[in-house]
Amino acid sequence: MSSKYPQRKLGDDYVSAQGLGCMGMSFAYTSYGGYDDEESLKVLTAAADRGITFWDTSDIYGPHTNEKLIGKWFRETGRRKEIFLATKFGNLRNADGSATVRGDAAYVKEACNGSLERLGIDQIDLYYQHRVDPNVPIEETVQAMVELKQEGKIRYLGLSECSAETLRRASRVHPIAAAQMEFSPFALEIESEQTKFLATARELGVKIVAYSPLGRGFLTGTMQSRADLDDSDNRKNHPRFSEEHFDENVKLVNKLQELAKKKGCTAGQLSLAWVLAQGDDFIPIPGTMLRNKEVTVQGLAD
């Protein structure tokens, strides 16, 4: 049974003030000894037991295997009602590994049905468009999502990695409950006058679900060399982890660790506390593996 955990409002619901990003259990991050479903199931249980019940996944994670993992947890535990579940559509990988996006109405509905089947559930709590399709008007995509809501297949609508103008256009069709954007001491773009994203979201009453609040793991302080990342780890392709920038970023993180030590916490805990302190409209969703879940949970509790 989950314990009481600090909560924040999302739509008409209250969710755990910090969520759990499940991507790394099945996708992209390969530097933790590979993917272990049994270990991940234990992480899910540990999170639920501590009241971390806002979980985030996507059909691209795997692809599909992350949703299946969560579906397995639901079947084995019978605890679906405890979890506020978010998943996403529209970010695809072609057979050759290249990326593509889709937001046409037919695909939106097809993707939702696929996610429901893999998760073994009747309704998704929060359904995001993972990436905006530049070839399909956002109004068409959102209208398809509205129809899914009318059918009882989803409860809330969300967008991920969109512009302020796209968010505004989408909101004219139907209220958008949340926007998932990268946000951490390393990633402050949504605050800028250039993007005007945070100001627009607040004007429209849209919550910010902050992905990679630990800087894709950098802000934990556990990575001191590019050799700490497997060659197949997607993060090696990110500018933050490039040979050009890695060492300078390590210096910044080490300074953060010094400050955290004075506060009696870790750099990761301090980073999460900082995101949470930006306002009640921020909900960070760090990922975790079993061996560091206690660190993540502690940061959440603080």
Task: Look over the chain and give the mean of its residue pLDDT values, rounded to a whole number.
Answer: 90
The answer to whether 108 touches 89, Cβ cutoff 8 Å, is yes
CATH number where 170 lies: 3.20.20.100
Q: Is 247 contained in some domain?
A: yes
* pLDDT value of position 227: 62
Whole-number Å distance between alpha carbons of 251 and 237 = 20
Q: Which of 61, 107, 127, 156 is catalytic?
A: 61
Number of domain units in the chain? 1
The residues, any chain, with a CB within 8 Å of residue 261's CB and separated by 6 or more, are none
Q: Is 279 contained in some domain?
A: yes
In the residue annotation, 35 being an active-site residue is answered as: no
Kindly state the average pLDDT of the residues 54-64. Answer: 95
Q: Is 1 contained in some domain?
A: no
For 34-59, letters b (16+ CB in 10 Å) and e give ebeeebbbebbebbbebbbbbbbbbb
> Which residue did the predictor score with more confidence, 295 or 47?
47
Q: Is 125 contained in some domain?
A: yes
Q: Is 135 contained in some domain?
A: yes
Chain position carrying tokens 């899910």: 44
Beta-bridge partners for 282:
208
* Integer angstrom CA distances of residue 233 from 18, 150, 178, 224, 238: 25, 40, 28, 15, 10
Write the DSSP symbol of residue 223.
-
Q: Is 272 contained in some domain?
A: yes
Q: Is 269 contained in some domain?
A: yes
* pLDDT value of position 294: 47
Q: Give residue 173's domain range.
A: 8-284
Q: Is 99 contained in some domain?
A: yes
The answer to whether 260 touches 274, Cβ cutoff 8 Å, is no
Which tokens go with 207? 């919550």
pLDDT digits (tens, 9 = 90+) for 118-157: 999 999 999 999 999 999 999 999 999 999 999 999 999 9
